[in-house]
Amino acid sequence: MYPLLDTINSPSQLRSLDCKLLPQLAEELRNFLVNSVSETGGHLSSNLGTVELTIALHYIFDTPNDRVVWDVGHQTYAHKILTGRREGMSKLRMHGGIAGFPRRDESEYDAFGTAHSSTSISAALGMAVAAQLEGVDRRAIAVIGDGAMSAGMAFEALNNAGVMDANLLVVLNDNDMSISPPVGALNNYLAKLMSGRFYASARRAGEKVLRVVPPVLELAKRAEEHMKGMVTPGTLFEEFGFNYIGPIDGHDLEVLTTTLNNIRQLKGPQFLHVVTRKGAGYNVAEEDPILYHGVGKFDPDEGIVPKPVNKPTYTKIFGDWLCDMAAMDSRLIGVTPAMREGSGLVKFSKEYPKRYFDVGIAEQHAVTFAAGAACDGLKPVVAIYSTFLQRGYDQLIHDVAIQNLPVVFALDRAGLVGADGPTHAGSFDYSFLRCIPNMTVMAPADENECRQMLYTAFQMDTPTAVRYPRGAGTGAEVQKEMVALPMGRGEVRRKGEKVALLAFGSMVTPCLGAAETLDATVVNMRFIKPIDDALIASLAEDYDLLVTVEENTTIGGAGSAVLESLAMGGGVTKVLQLGLPDIFIDQGDHAQMLADCGLDKDGIVKFVQEHLPK
């Protein structure tokens, strides 16, 4: 038995294989995935679960002419490997390497860029309509999974697609058994039967015959729905106007290819329900798919060995504070849109299960749910990544801020996030938060200040946001006692000559390092809104040059707030802004990304020296 994977550099080569060889290819592909990701880190369990499905899709459909849209994007490693990027996996998620998610500029096989969830059905429907209007025979397939079906956008798209009669296939990769019970041979047989042209044409012919006797037609339809309902959970999707097929075993290549081949002959909106296992084929990942969801480098023979923690992460600081605050105030509830582990709510969910609410991948709902709870006396804390709050922006304005409700937003992953790239970077929150009336926005310089800011935010009766970066902080000692910070007041961390560095959040530490070389004053601004107008005016009088430094886009960000403050006060001091440039910054090592933007110690020194008054 000769190796197959090394001979496959495109789906056309895959389609030339005898179907009997596909299981061997799946085994080789799965082994390659484990070994490759163990050397680079990345998403593992979700990708192991889609090996057979990926093979079957590219085997049956004429990609890239047929469009396959993946949702969410972290289940596409097998897709990348089979579409000519096998060698590129050695630099997965690294600077200059291939992305961890689909990107249109990376490959013609990446039909749509995805990294946030629940966009696939909308995008694929748009592609199906484009094919229809152009009069071309081209299929559009949306592969949705990993909880993405819990978002409202997916159902908005289903509702629209069901009445458009476009040739759209939605494949639900059900990898946590949340919809259906385990499947067996009967369901597989029925799925193949119901996906066949005979079944579809017989149903249409029967409808024509029975249409002259409406009561009999209605009885026949109800009988069909009843029979389907006995063996499948598809009634909901049928009501949307889809022909529902499944559930089928997503690891059985014979069933997958036969069913997909039958569906390819059908017209109109089709819905295929596929059941897979996260981590399939790699025992430790199957046993703990959450641990192996996003991994660093590891030994594939030993699995992941926990490393000792030297410094607590900001995420852990938040999680500990949330439990401590909950013990002090029974009104506190914790809300997360499907990010319990990532946002640090595991401990809280165990200690306060009745006050913990994971609403699924539904950021809009999370924000409005919190608003409703706040209306009736609770104090919600929404734990959410900065990039995901973008998805609930209207709700933040319309449901929280306009009503001036006491909701605390704990914004994790603020600033650049390294290997996850531009889709997950929190590059814009200073800008989009500070323009909202009633909002208070804070950014801690270290772990202890993060805890105190969270406490400060919770004491307020208005909307607040505390934004902090990914990973560990400076190693500052964290005080158990919590003290509210003076509202809208910054603090001078170091006194120097001629230049004042106005640092926000994560930039305080590199500014302190740069100040030793520059002999500059360093101010920990703490608040983005309200900005410390009095302190800014005082600095403008005392220094020839003010430099604002932020890990946020400079357009409309914290530096802009300083400029606006000076303009309102009539200040004429020279002010320079240093922050993220007006581009989407690609993936890479976080420290190197900051250096490339001039936001490390050396970069700050160079920037100031180039602009010092002569």
Which amino acids are annotated catalytic? 278, 363, 391
Query: Contact at 8 Å (CB) between 345 and 372?
Result: no
Q: How many CB atoms lie within 10 A of CB 427?
A: 24
Rounded to whole angstroms, how far apart are CA atoms 201 and 267? 11
Query: Contact at 8 Å (CB) between 217 and 207?
Result: yes
Rounded to whole angstroms, how far apart are CA atoms 291 and 293? 6
Tell me which amino acid residue 528 is.
I
Tell me which amino acid residue 492 is.
V
Q: Which two tokens stand for residue 605?
A: 């020194």
What's the per-residue H, E or C state across 63-114? CCCCEEEEECHHHCHHHHHHHHHCHHHHHCCCCCCCCCCCCCCCCCCCCCCC
Rounded to whole angstroms, how far apart are CA atoms 519 and 139? 64
Tell me which amino acid residue 417 is.
V
CA angle 483/484/489 to nearest 5° reads 130
Rounded to whole angstroms, how far apart are CA atoms 360 and 150? 6
What order of strands is seen across the sheet that includes strand 464-467?
356-358, 332-336, 379-385, 408-412, 464-467, 440-442, 527-529
Strand segments (E) across 456-531: 464-467, 491-494, 499-503, 521-524, 527-529
Burial of 301 (0-12, 13-18, 19+ CB in 10 A): exposed
Q: How many CB atoms lie within 10 A of CB 187?
A: 21
Residue that has been written with the tokens 């799946």 in this structure: 26
Within 13 Å and on the Cβ side, how many CA atoms surround 301? 0
Question: What are the phi and psi torsion angles at 173 (to 5°)?
Answer: -85, 90
Summary count for the chain: helices (H), strands (E)? 25, 19
Pairing of strands 491-494, 521-524: antiparallel
Rounded to whole angstroms, how far apart are CA atoms 308 and 328? 30
